[in-house]
Structure 1
């Protein structure tokens, strides 16, 4: 009886030939399960992004068809530079050229197919592919957007590091400035910066052009509100991180206040700002439309203004669709990176 009990005990412990075997490891199974969950989560995000893009493209297409008037007549009037009565032969030629004689559903699927291939159509005014028109000016806008994001990060880090966790009075001042900066409209801020630093102090050119010195004021116009948004989310995390045990440990090791803030606290506090960076890229691209007009900079902003004034719908829709794509793709990439770096953020 004792031997039977002992044998049962050995089998329960995984003993073979008198040698105890370790229990089968569970870690690989857990990793495989986590990997599957992460893959499913990323797949959902990709599908959601595609649905958003499809929705944006659909709205852009039907917005064109909902405008009053005959599209063929509009195209001919744009080319002629004046409105006049068109003959049926002229209208038939334009309808054939742009496929406007086909059923609306066929035009819609042709439009979606063109977007998948990167074809936004042909400009009514310039008779060139929209992608070529946008591509000529996109580089200047991208440089402006990236510079604005860089400035926003610098402003946010300096301001939050200086004011967060410094006591209730300075903290209140910091929070108030965050909210005020985030609410500044770009068109108003741009005009103020132009009046003070270009016309008043003459530190920068009035017409920005494409030079480096003409990039500062437009980038600051986009960066200051963005820095306010990021500072609001970063400040809370910064103050929370100051109360963590690793801060006390660093102080006990003799590290100074600035070293603790910059080397330890800041890297824990900027996670919300990193998340906002995906949104910021799309926001600065769309905000560049206004800023480029104020400072007379080259870019897709000037192209969009010209296209709206001339009713060049393919160019307008192309730029709007491009901004939507940047918004969605940038946020998708940020979400995917976060899911891969720490799946618990998405799967908890």
Structure 2
């Protein structure tokens, strides 16, 4: 190599140097995308409040008094002045966004409390339910896939059929069946969810079983393909047992596609919690959302929608980090 060639070689970026700017740019794009999603959710919730039919000041007064009637201009004027309901729409919008940036999601019409405080009081049971359901779904998926995927005979076919059926089961139907069978008839679990661990089992399974069916379909297909990869065949040729091969060399690679939708799944679990918490009379953000929607408490409904969007965004960013833990060769794109 000549001196010129050597000098040119030193100027060429190494693969590691090339990957670092690419990864940084990728993370910047993801964060910008997350901000856009949150901004869109906030804008939609603002329009929900501002353009909803009916006078907001009248609605707020009726909720506070428990009487539904028309209000005089003298009655609604102080409310409009306090909350700025008569300000130009653009000014209301900027004030609303500024409040969100400060952590102020408004005041609940019905409860007369800050929306952020109401959500903080109710979000812990829902987080416990959704996280438990996600973990349970993954445990079901891993066990079913490792034990049955790619095996000859009826086991693989029956497992695949069970995943298809589970993925299509509605939460409300499954929750009622579990409640009637295991809580009312057998008495193994409490009828109402409550705060105990036993009270968490049936609601968590109601959310976990359909999700496990959906994730299992994706994982099973990848697992079956991975069984034919050269490194798997080489492991078997070295005398590694079937179960060990499946856990050490196949499972990790088959989890990647299903992991990519786990962020979406977390947001979907929050949506499913609305139905599940109602069925099992369980405290949480779902019950709060149902009550707020029935009473037309627009600020509380809007605040919960923004929180669910934030959970969805954060979960997707966490999934991107988990990618590199499961398989360090994967770079963000």
TM-score, structure 2 normalization: 0.93
**Cα distance change on mapping 1:258 and 1:66 into 2, 3 Å:** same
Q: What residue in structure 1 maps to residue 161 of structure 2?
A: 176
Structure 1 residues 106-115 or 327-336, which shifts more?
327-336
CA distance in structure 1 between the aligned counterparts of 2:54 and 2:6, rounded to whole angstroms: 82
CA distance in structure 2 between the aligned counterparts of 1:70 and 1:34, rounded to whole angstroms: 55
Does the aligned pair in 1 maintain the 2:226–2:254 contact within 8 Å?
yes
**Cα distance change on mapping 1:268 and 1:131 into 2, 3 Å:** same
- The aligned runs of 1:25-174 (5 Å cut-off) are 25=10, 28-167=13-152, 169-174=154-159
User: SS at the partner of 2:269?
Assistant: helix
TM-score, structure 1 normalization: 0.89
RMSD: 2.2
Structure 1 residues 242-251 or 224-233, which shifts more?
242-251
User: SS at the partner of 2:9?
Assistant: coil
Q: What residue in structure 1 maps to residue 3 of structure 2?
A: 14
Does the aligned pair in 2 maintain the 1:148–1:219 contact within 8 Å?
yes
Q: What residue in structure 2 maps to residue 216 of structure 1?
A: 201
Does the aligned pair in 1 maintain the 2:285–2:304 contact within 8 Å?
yes
Q: What residue in structure 2 maps to residue 242 of structure 1?
A: 227
Structure 1 residues 47-56 or 198-207, which shifts more?
47-56
Q: What residue in structure 1 maps to residue 236 of structure 2?
A: 251
Does the aligned pair in 1 maintain the 2:23–2:331 contact within 8 Å?
no
Q: In the TM superposition, what whole-angstrom CA distance separates every residue of 1:261-288 from its partner, at most 9, and x where no partner exists?
A: 1222111211122222212221112211
Larger radius of gyration: 1
Q: In the TM superposition, what whole-angstrom CA distance separates every residue of 1:219-247 from its partner, at most 9, and x where no partner exists?
A: 00000011111111111111111112222
Q: In the TM superposition, what whole-angstrom CA distance separates every residue of 1:151-208 from its partner, at most 9, and x where no partner exists?
A: 1011111111121001274433322222211111111110011011111111111111
User: SS at the partner of 1:90?
Assistant: helix
CA distance in structure 2 between the aligned counterparts of 1:254 and 1:336, rounded to whole angstroms: 34
Q: What residue in structure 1 maps to residue 184 of structure 2?
A: 199
User: SS at the partner of 1:24?
Assistant: helix
Q: In the TM superposition, what whole-angstrom CA distance separates every residue of 1:28-83 from its partner, at most 9, and x where no partner exists?
A: 44332322222222222222221122111111111112221111001111111121
Does the aligned pair in 2 maintain the 1:141–1:285 contact within 8 Å?
yes
Q: What residue in structure 1 maps to residue 256 of structure 2?
A: 271
Q: In the TM superposition, what whole-angstrom CA distance separates every residue of 1:99-120 from its partner, at most 9, and x where no partner exists?
A: 1121111111111111112111
1:324 CA displacement: 1.0
CA distance in structure 2 between the aligned counterparts of 1:159 and 1:339, rounded to whole angstroms: 24
**Cα distance change on mapping 1:200 and 1:27 into 2, 3 Å:** farther
Which 5+ residue runs of structure 1 have no aligned equivalent? 1-11
CA distance in structure 2 between the aligned counterparts of 1:301 and 1:206, rounded to whole angstroms: 18
